[in-house]
Structure 1
Amino acid sequence: MTTVGATTAELVARARRLAVPGERRVLGIVGPPGAGKSTLARAIVEALGPALAVEVGMDGYHLSNAVLADLGRGDRKGAVDTLDDAGYAALVARLAAARPGDPPVYAPVFRREIEEPVAAGVAVPADVPLVVTEGNYLLAPTGAWPAARARMTEVWYLDVPDVVRLARLEDRHHAFGKSRDDARRWANGSDQRNAELIEATRDGADVVVRWAG
């Protein structure tokens, strides 16, 4: 594991080296809630273009609100046991194995405006050489998470100061309908407990990134 400070342009250049036409690589981006994983993944995919890269998020494997209610886990949405880790690992295996000429793989997406996963929300053509996947638990040591991580060519851990990360989280929760007080409680409560678990997995990353944006 190495630690680097990098700009977006430098990280795009590193990702570009993984995008070898005719091959398939999976780049994982992990970090605690509010670290900027989806923002970085989107920046890489947009910079490389649709012929070279596509984004597939772990969040598409959130259990539905109805299932979480049945399990009594609705107040812990986002915790490691509120996602379908086996489903995600199976998807990553299919993505990693795809080669030009194979049919596309369809992956679910998570819609924040409804707080629910949506099936087959993104198509991954087999001739796109790089899949960028991001999420909280790519390095988790339990369940099927290690099987998913084993199919990833590289995993980057985003290291962001807590003061920045918590402010982002509070703003995000507020933007999607929580009151400012509820947003702050969620960011410092459930989200923070998840962050502590995720931070304990950082040594499993290939690179720890201090992203300059």
Structure 2
Amino acid sequence: MFTGIIEETGKIQTIRKGAESSFISVQAKKIMQDVQLGDSIAVNGVCLTVTAFSQGGFTADVMNETFKRSSLGSLSTGSPVNLERAMPANGRFGGHIVSGHIDGTGTVSAIQKDDNAVWYTIKTTPDILRYIIEKGSVAIDGISLTVAKAERDRFSVSVIPHTASMTILPGRRVGDTVNLENDCIGKYVERLMGIQQAKNNITADFLMKYGF
């Protein structure tokens, strides 16, 4: 589990996409202080398992399906990436619950300066937007952010200077693809509500009628 608070930005050293096996090697520094084989590291929001490491970086196997369903497939040697280690049990929960299992991708449709902040507007699909609510949480390339505005086919976030300085967001341009992970709480609630409705015919109107 992750929090969406990026620890550092690294760079892709090697990326190989093969018919049977694929992997990436990432140059990193801060997160290598206590890394072990088998550790989970989120790379642009995608949870990957460390299969080898050295003082200056780590390697992770990547399923071809992951390349297809995320923006990792568009990376190349030298590409900057957001990095976060899995949260320790005694760590502070600075962001929100992030699993590292992205729900899909979106496209940066607008970038607008607003005093010292920057607004990023992301266009995406209905299956992602159904869980996007104003003032709710979303992870963009693994970054925990608050939704400032939600529209029919897109949503916007306002990014403060500190967040921008610690992530790869300043390098994003209109048209770029980003990884998106919805707040998992909404997905679980929807699933459980569906099960209960099927069992007991409980509807939203029923809950409202009895004060829920």
In proportion to residue count, which structure has more strand?
2
Higher relative contact order (CA 8 A, sep 6+): 1
Q: Look at both structures and tell me which one has the larger radius of gyration over its CA atoms.
A: 2
TM-score tier after normalising by the smaller chain length: under 0.3
Give the alignment's TM-score, normalised by structure 2. Answer: 0.24
Give the alignment's TM-score, normalised by structure 1. Answer: 0.24
In proportion to residue count, which structure has more helix?
1
